[in-house]
Every structure is written in C-alpha cells, then in structure tokens.
Copies of this chain bind each other. A is one copy, B any other.
Amino acid sequence: MSNKAEKKVASKKHTKKPDAHIEGASQLGIEIRKEANFSGWYTQVLKRSEMLEYYEEVSGCYIIRPLAYNIWEEIQSFFDAAIKKLGVEDTYFPMFVSQRQLEREKDHVEGFAPEVAWVTKAGSSNIENPVAIRPTSETVMYPYFAKWIRTYRDLPLKLNQWCNVVRWEFKNPQPFIRTREFLWQEGHTAHFTKEDADIEVREILELYRQVYEDMLAVPVIRGVKSEKEKFAGGLYTTTLEGFIPATGRGVQAATSHCLGQNFSKMFDIVIEDPNAPAGADGKDAKKMYVWQNSWGLSTRSIGVMVMIHGDNKGLVLPPRVAATQVIVIPCGITSKTTDDDKKLVEKKINDVVEELKSAGIKAKADLRENYSPGYKFNHWELKGVPIRLEIGPRDLSNQQSLMVRRDNGSKEPIPLEGIVSRISDTLKIIQKDMFDRAKKVYDDHVKIVLKWEDFVPILDGKNFALIPWCEGEKCEDEIKEKSARHITEQEAEDEKAPSMGAKSLCIPFEQPDDPPIIPGETKCVSCGTLAKRYALFGRSY
C-alpha cells in the first residue's frame, strides 16, 4: 500500500500540482512540498529518513526503524524514571482478554468492541473460547486489582506497563498517528479517595506535557474532554491537544483519565472502610469502592513531532531526542589537498567528536570516502540532525569550524577552542527556538469565536475555534454536522478527510478572560443556550 500511496502522490504532482515538486531533489531527498501535499510529504519524510517503513503485508501496520525507535527509548527513559519517583511499578499483563471480561463494563466495551481483534484459531484448530487482543488493559487488569486490594493498606496501587495494543480501525491509517498496532505505556492506579486520584491525574498530565513540550518541542493545550469525547467508561478525561499547522487539524497527544468508581463497581474492587469497621455489635464493615485512574502515551507522539517540525529537506529533530545531535563532515578537500592535510583534517574531526562525546553530546563523524560533502549534507539534513560542523584544511589553520543549524539553516564559524560549551549551548538554544516557534504558530491559530457565522470560516482558515459553549452532547453533534459540509480545498483533495466536521478537542484549563463567560448571560455560540466555559473546537486526526 505504500507504493500505491506514493504513486498516487507522484502522478498527482505532475498534473494538478506542479508546485508540489521540489526542483533538484534527488530520489534520496524529499520531492514533495509540505505546503502542497502534506500527507504525501509526511509519508516521504518518514520513509526516506528511514524512520519508518510501510508493512506491506498487513494494512495499517508499520515498521518503526531505529531512528524513530530511539526517540521512543528517550521518551521511555524519561517517563519511566519520573513515574517510578511517584511510586509507580512496572509490570506485564497478558495481551489476551476473554470476551466475558471485556464485556464487563458496558460503556467501555461499546467504545472498543468494533475495533477488537479476535484470535479464534491456534495451528489448525479452532479455539473453544476465542480471545481478544487488548485494545487497552482495564479489563485485563482489574479482576486482579479486585484480588490484590483488600484493605486501605493496599492503596495506592500504582502499576504501569510498556506494551503493544491493537485497535483494528477501519478508518484510513496514518503512520504513527492512526495504526492498528501501536506501542504505548498504560498506567493503572487505585486510590483511597477521589482527591488522591484527582491529584495523580494532573501529575501524570504534567509529565506528558514535559514529554511533548520539553522533549519533543511540541506545544500542547491542556484541558478536559467533553462528555462525548471522554474515555469510554471513565469519569472524566484530561488531555493534551496538539495542533498540526499544515492541515489546521488537531491531534490528541496524550490522555490521563479519572475512572471514578465505575470500574471498581463492575470489577468489585472494594476495601473495608477504615472509618466504619466491623462493629462489636456484629455489624459488617462498610464496603468502599476504590477510585481509579488510567493514563496512556503512545508512539503517536513521534508522528506529531515529525508533522510539526519537519520541512522540505526532511526531518528536524529536537536535540533532546536526536540519536545524533552533531554530525561532523570534512569539507574543502580537493584533488590539490595533500594526504597529510587530509589526515590532519580527519584527525581533528575525530578529536572534536571524542571531545563532544566525552561531554555527553551525541556526536558522529561522517568520513565516508565515496560520498561528496554535498551528498552528506543532504543525507544528515534528511535525518534531522540538529547541528552540522564542517571542518576543512582552511578551518584548521583558522582554528575554527563552520556550524550549521538544521532548524533555521543559520551558518556561523565558531572557534575550535571551547567548542564543547558552544555546542552544548547551541543545542539548548535550538531546543528552545523550535518550541517557541511552534508555540507562536499554535497560539496564532487559536481564535476566539463569538458568532456561529465566523465558526466555519475560522476552521477553514486552518484554525481552532475557542467558543463559549453549553457543553451539551447534542450541541456537540450539531456542531460536527454543521461544520462538516464546509471543507477546505486541501481537504477536498486529500481523500483521507473528505468532509470532516469539527469536534470538541477540550475545555482548556486556561480559560480566556476577554470576553469572560458571564454565568446566566453568555450564550453558547452554536445552540444559544447558556454557555458554561470556553471550549476548543477543531477538525482533528
């Protein structure tokens, strides 16, 4: 299917959209412009940078190659250490769940059943009771929470697992963003009080924010989901919502759910209330259902980062998650360069790399003989390496190196003396600049909308609309319907989003104060009943 997708893109580019083609781009570089054909560009960047390969055998599945997997490892290493500090322990539950357990929480199963993959055969025999592959593990884990939790002393129970899950979606797949199998962590915790659960929901959301904003340089808006969009079977869902400027679409980045007592009631996870113990009068102790949370972050995060930061030369990786932060390339070596000079250059390059590495900077030399400097520049730009250093014979005599930033293309000679602290500073600056730029774009595309007439034009301008909203489920359905008929030219072209309506992305924690919502007065922009809070609406992945 990858080939088909790419061919379609390629044939389009020569007919309807000549500007989608990047002049002079070779087979190895990026040939499709991000602005002109976003989904074609996205696929090409992922494949040619060797982040990802399409898995031809099973539609909707992809191969995560080392360049991308390394980013996942960086995220794992940060997040796992952070939750362990909160007392969370890693564990591993089976990937299979029986039909009986899967169906125990009604709303939950309704949310997931249509996408559940079933194993019905082993070898050549049919399995008596087919088993589902986990789409998420609430129903796998909670029978055991019921077994392990007996008294308040067993609380809080805080478990996490890093694993694969399967959601056999029939919508069009998109690498990293919507895939039938994906990797994630899922945390599942049980608490004595709602307050404890509430606090943790926010602690975890803050860690997710750090993953996105501080590591991936991807700005997000924090908020709570509407009743319609919350986790199936949960009490409330907090979320991080990202924004893809190229399409003006939102993307749910990570969610932290408070499940309330819904699952503990279905799975009978009870303790004796320590405040109402069994009495001497023979009265039984009062039972108390525990409060539960679940929270997840997936490899989707990698796709969001690529969509936001990638450009027409390929990937642009934030330094904190780049497997190679600095590539050092010999330059200015011609047929007139003496062997000694060439050796001196290479020696210097190796020294610089070692110096950087011993300071913990992920540096690498590209001393390949059979490739020109120009080829190497393109190669490492495609792979998104944050800093390129060029060193040639003339640089040696000047004791300097040309430093080229991937994120903004700026070039600057820097002294070899003290290069470590200079590079270390520059990596921090790049990380900050990438976030700041993306944040400004996001902020610019969140528009307060106070009249329905403005709603769809604002969306069509690739923006989110922040509206005073009644928070009604019926109103949300109507907004989706009313905004679905109006679509952008881009989306009309892109068969994957033929006539998508807007949905509520979240009710942001940070509410606008101009104009403020006046209780009993401010009206819902869509249905005209009383508005409760501002809500963020947008087309989304």
Which of B66, B96, B124 is within 8 Å of A90, CB to CB? B66
Interface residues in A69-98 (C-beta closer than 8 Å to B):
69-70, 72-73, 89-98
Evaluate contact between A69 and B98: CB separation under 8 angstroms.
no
Q: Contacts A57-B100, A57-B101: A63 and B121 contacting too (C-beta < 8 A)?
A: no
Copies of this chain present in the complex amount to: 2
Q: Contacts A90-B70, A181-B94: A119 and B122 contacting too (C-beta < 8 A)?
A: no
Evaluate contact between A130 and B121: CB separation under 8 angstroms.
yes
Q: Contacts A118-B122, A123-B115, A168-B122: A94 and B144 contacting too (C-beta < 8 A)?
A: no
Evaluate contact between B65 and A143: CB separation under 8 angstroms.
no
Evaluate contact between A122 and B117: CB separation under 8 angstroms.
yes
Q: How far is the CA of A118 from the CA of B55 in the complex (A)?
A: 18
- Report B-chain residues with C-beta under 8 Å of the C-beta of A163: 164
- Report B-chain residues with C-beta under 8 Å of the C-beta of A123: 113-116, 168
Q: How far is the CA of A123 from the CA of B64 in the complex (A)?
A: 26
Interface residues in A53-68 (C-beta closer than 8 Å to B):
53, 55-58, 61-66
- Report B-chain residues with C-beta under 8 Å of the C-beta of A97: 57-58
Is A531 positioned at the interface, with any CB of B under 8 Å from its CB? no
Is A133 positioned at the interface, with any CB of B under 8 Å from its CB? yes
Evaluate contact between B63 and A96: CB separation under 8 angstroms.
no
Evaluate contact between B91 and A65: CB separation under 8 angstroms.
yes
- Report B-chain residues with C-beta under 8 Å of the C-beta of A122: 115-118, 168, 170
Q: How far is the CA of A91 from the CA of B51 in the complex (A)?
A: 10
Is A159 positioned at the interface, with any CB of B under 8 Å from its CB? yes
Q: Contacts A57-B98, A164-B164: A91 and B119 contacting too (C-beta < 8 A)?
A: no
Is A329 positioned at the interface, with any CB of B under 8 Å from its CB? no
Specify which of A96, A116, A124 lies most central, judged by the most chain B CB atoms within 10 Å of its CB: A96
Is A372 positioned at the interface, with any CB of B under 8 Å from its CB? no
Evaluate contact between B94 and A61: CB separation under 8 angstroms.
yes
Is A120 positioned at the interface, with any CB of B under 8 Å from its CB? yes
Specify which of A53, A56, A123 lies most central, judged by the most chain B CB atoms within 10 Å of its CB: A123
Q: Contacts A118-B121, A131-B58: A63 and B90 contacting too (C-beta < 8 A)?
A: no
Q: How far is the CA of A117 from the CA of B368 in the complex (A)?
A: 46
Q: How far is the CA of A345 from the CA of B98 in the complex (A)?
A: 51
Q: Contacts A115-B122, A121-B130, A123-B116: A96 and B66 contacting too (C-beta < 8 A)?
A: no
- Report B-chain residues with C-beta under 8 Å of the C-beta of A497: none
Evaluate contact between B63 and A93: CB separation under 8 angstroms.
yes
Q: Annotate A99-140 by CB proximity to B: 1 below 8 A, 0 otherwise.
A: 011000000000001111111111110010011010000000
Q: Contacts A57-B97, A97-B57, A131-B58: A92 and B64 contacting too (C-beta < 8 A)?
A: yes
* Total number of A residues with any Cβ neighbor in B under 8 Å: 54
Is A9 positioned at the interface, with any CB of B under 8 Å from its CB? no
A110 CB to nearest B CB, Å: 12
Evaluate contact between B94 and A69: CB separation under 8 angstroms.
no
Evaluate contact between B94 and A62: CB separation under 8 angstroms.
yes
Is A450 positioned at the interface, with any CB of B under 8 Å from its CB? no
Evaluate contact between B63 and A144: CB separation under 8 angstroms.
yes
Q: How far is the CA of A113 from the CA of B121 in the complex (A)?
A: 11
Q: How far is the CA of A57 from the CA of B103 in the complex (A)?
A: 13
Interface residues in A139-188 (C-beta closer than 8 Å to B):
143-144, 147, 159, 163-164, 166, 168, 170, 181, 183
Specify which of A61, A114, A183 lies most central, judged by the most chain B CB atoms within 10 Å of its CB: A61
A83 CB to nearest B CB, Å: 12
- Report B-chain residues with C-beta under 8 Å of the C-beta of A70: 89-90
Evaluate contact between B164 and A95: CB separation under 8 angstroms.
yes
A142 CB to nearest B CB, Å: 12
User: Residue of B at shortest CB range from A50?
Assistant: B148
Q: Contacts A119-B117, A120-B121, A133-B119: A73 and B56 contacting too (C-beta < 8 A)?
A: no
Evaluate contact between B118 and A91: CB separation under 8 angstroms.
no
Q: How far is the CA of A168 from the CA of B126 in the complex (A)?
A: 12
Q: How far is the CA of A66 from the CA of B158 in the complex (A)?
A: 10
Q: List 24 A-B contacts (CB under 8 A).
A: A55-B93, A57-B97, A57-B98, A57-B100, A57-B101, A58-B98, A62-B94, A63-B92, A63-B144, A64-B91, A64-B92, A69-B89, A69-B91, A72-B92, A96-B181, A115-B122, A117-B121, A118-B122, A119-B120, A120-B120, A122-B170, A133-B133, A163-B164, A164-B164
- Besides A95-B166, A115-B122, A133-B133, 8 other A-B contacts (C-beta < 8 A): A57-B96, A57-B100, A57-B131, A58-B131, A61-B94, A61-B96, A96-B181, A164-B164
List of 6 A-B pairs having minimum Cβ-Cβ separation, nearest first: A122-B168, A66-B89, A61-B94, A118-B121, A64-B92, A57-B98
